[in-house]
Amino acid sequence: MGTERSRRALLGQGGAIVAGGILGGGGRRKEEPDETTPVALGVFVPGAPANLRRLDGFVTKVGRMPAFVHWYEAWGSATSVTGEIVRGAWLETVGRRGATPLITWEPWDPTAGTDQPAYALEIVSRSDFDAYINSWAYRLAAHGVPVYLRFAHEMNAGWYPWGIGVNGTTTAGYLSAWRHLRQLFAAAGATNVRWVWSPDAGSHGGPALADVYPGDDLVDWVALDGYNWGAARPDTRWRGFGEVFARAYDEVLAFTDRPVMVAEMACSEQGATRRRGSRRRSPSCRSTFPGCGRLGGSTRRPRPAIGRLRLRRPRWPPSRRRWRGRICGDGSRRRMPGEGRIWPPA
């Protein structure tokens, strides 16, 4: 529980991440990336989309509405488990601004730790939550346009009740719950929902990712979560993008051709140095991650920082201009794999 809260705090204090950043258009293809390949920018802003001023503040800083607006919905926060359905007003608000929702859907009560038998995935599989799940399925189907749904993320780690080996969760139980949700959404006609399977890139010693992968027929996107804690913790050091994501990325390439995104990425400023700019990025980053040359543009972009509660403008205007041009400029519009729409919207 403490790990999850500290990660969410690092993610939220700065107000932004590259969520939906494309690492590669399709898993096993390892061709050299095109220098002109752009990336779709996404953002998690605490309080948004309920508080649009916070989202608009981010847009003002970076110069463009992101392609994705990311937020978290915990089953235990909804009266649903009592009957509250997805917040339709939020979907409409994000859509009117030209962005697409990326919703992390968490089967737990976020105030109750990891021991939550009431939310055990085997209970999900046996239909105890079907009324709640169906309310989401039919509401998202009615929305009609793409919604990215990230269910039970970081299942290979130990800080959530749905993590393998936690709260009675087994690999078989996790996969069964995923299949059950897909069946219910298919019955509701929610073909506009894009299912995002999202392991943690930094967890080692857990299950092999291939063992907990539901299969290409049940997954539309693979997402990776990774954090550079820098010197913010006594047992951590500064790590580059490639060091954070390479191991998990290579593991994913071995078993799926699904497109890959970064769903959570945050970076502490502690341990950073001025010389770590985009022009000195390791060549291995671009060769390992197709499209990586456009993922961040510069390490001096706005980023979360321990102890700061607002999104900071970068200290160096040229770096900010490079970041805005590479991530948010008109040249950064691309057709997302499997979609007919262009991202980011004009």
* Residue 280 scores a pLDDT above 60: no
From the number of C-beta atoms within 10 Å of its C-beta (0-12, 13-18, 19+), residue 25 rates as buried
Task: For residues 16 and 118, give the distance between their C-alpha atoms in angstroms, rounded to a whole number.
Answer: 32
Q: What tokens were used for 214?
A: 């539901």
- If pLDDT is split at 50, 70 and 90, which confidence band does 1 have? low
DSSP string of 286-344?
Answer: HHHSTTGGGTSS-TTSS---TT--SPPPPS-HHHHHHHIIIIISGGG-EEPTT-SSEES
* Residue 47 scores a pLDDT above 70: yes
Question: Coil, strand, or helix at residue 181?
Answer: helix
Q: Quick one: pLDDT at residue 258?
A: 92
Query: In the predicted model, what is the mean pLDDT of the chain?
Result: 74
**Average pLDDT for residues 219-242, to the nearest whole number?**
82
Q: Quick one: pLDDT at residue 148?
A: 95
Q: What tokens were used for 111?
A: 């105030």
Task: For residues 246 and 300, give the distance between their C-alpha atoms in angstroms, rounded to a whole number.
Answer: 21
**Average pLDDT for residues 330-339, to the nearest whole number?**
44
Q: Quick one: pLDDT at residue 322?
A: 60
Q: How many helices (H) and strands (E) does the chain have?
A: 9, 10
**Average pLDDT for residues 316-326, to the nearest whole number?**
55
* Residue 284 scores a pLDDT above 60: no
- If pLDDT is split at 50, 70 and 90, which confidence band does 87 have? confident
Can you say how many angstroms the Cα of residue 176 is from the centroid of all Cα atoms in its chain? 22
* Residue 233 scores a pLDDT above 70: yes
**Average pLDDT for residues 222-233, to the nearest whole number?**
82
Q: What tokens were used for 245?
A: 């994501």
Share of the chain above pLDDT 70, in %: 64
- Predicted TM-score of the model (pTM): 0.79
Q: Quick one: pLDDT at residue 78?
A: 56
* Residue 9 scores a pLDDT above 80: no
**Average pLDDT for residues 42-58, to the nearest whole number?**
88
HSE toward the beta carbon, residue 90, CA cutoff 13 A: 21
Distances (CA, A) of 244 to 15, 97, 249, 306: 20, 32, 10, 18
Q: What would the pLDDT profile of 285-297 be if each residue is shown by its tens digit?
A: 445 555 333 233 2
More confident site: 139 or 4: 139
Q: What tokens were used for 334?
A: 């691309």
**Average pLDDT for residues 234-245, to the nearest whole number?**
79
More confident site: 329 or 103: 103
Q: Quick one: pLDDT at residue 140?
A: 95
* Residue 328 scores a pLDDT above 60: no
Q: Quick one: pLDDT at residue 165?
A: 96
* Residue 18 scores a pLDDT above 70: no
* Residue 158 scores a pLDDT above 60: yes
Q: What would the pLDDT profile of 110-127 be if each residue is shown by its tens digit?
A: 889 999 999 999 999 998
**Average pLDDT for residues 52-62, to the nearest whole number?**
87
What CATH number is given for 2-343 in this structure? 3.20.20.80
* Residue 343 scores a pLDDT above 80: no
Number of Cβ within a 10 Å radius of residue 240: 15
Contact 104, 70 (CB under 8 A): yes
- If pLDDT is split at 50, 70 and 90, which confidence band does 91 have? very high
From the number of C-beta atoms within 10 Å of its C-beta (0-12, 13-18, 19+), residue 68 rates as buried
Distances (CA, A) of 133 to 17, 81, 139, 161, 228: 28, 9, 10, 18, 34
Q: Which residues pair with 261 in a beta bridge?
A: 22, 223
Q: Quick one: pLDDT at residue 26?
A: 54
**Average pLDDT for residues 221-250, to the nearest whole number?**
82
More confident site: 97 or 339: 97
- If pLDDT is split at 50, 70 and 90, which confidence band does 147 have? very high
Task: For residues 313 and 306, give the distance between their C-alpha atoms in angstroms, rounded to a whole number.
Answer: 15
Q: Quick one: pLDDT at residue 204?
A: 78
Q: Alpha helices, DSSP H only, in the chain?
A: 2-14, 52-62, 88-96, 121-125, 130-143, 171-187, 241-253, 283-288, 317-323
